[in-house]
Amino acid sequence: MEYVIREAKREDMPAVLELIKELASYEGAADQVEIHVSDLEHEGFDEGNFKCFVAEVDEKIEGLALVYFRFSTWKGRTVHLEDLIVRESMRGTGLGGALYKRVVKYGHENSVRRVEWVVSEGNKNAQEFYENTGADIKKNWYTVHMDETGIQKNID
């Protein structure tokens, strides 16, 4: 199978949102996707808040990796992989690995000292894949989120 990994363009955002919704549905959280194509276009292309790479097969977007820079007080500049999504019908074809390598290369090109991301506790296949590439899964750290209700509670 031939594929192309490339930087996403503004006109790719409808397909990107489709994949985001597919992942949310797969994880039983379809009702939690609140963003729209216009949000992706604005934040990614007008504001430059993220970079997105897409995997194309026969001119159809079948996967994506969305990343952005962070700063670690211990390490300095890092790149965070927010999502790596491959359409369910295309899993096992190598697209995920190719996107992953592109993210690591992007980090290297931008002189980051760390690439970081979160993986679901139940996603054992991904955990094994990441560990086999030299990644270290931190089992003693927790991801903490505060939603809009929590934010409001803390500013009132």
Distance CA 105, CA 88 (A): 25
Distance CA 52, CA 46 (A): 14
Q: Spell 17-45 as b/e; 16+ CB within 10 A means b.
A: bebbebbbeeeeeeeeeeeeeeebbeebe
Q: Which of 3, 26, 106, 130 is catalytic?
A: 130
Mark whether 130 is an active-site residue. Answer: yes
DSSP summary character for residue 149 = H
Distance CA 93, CA 26 (A): 18
Q: Which residues are catalytic?
A: 130
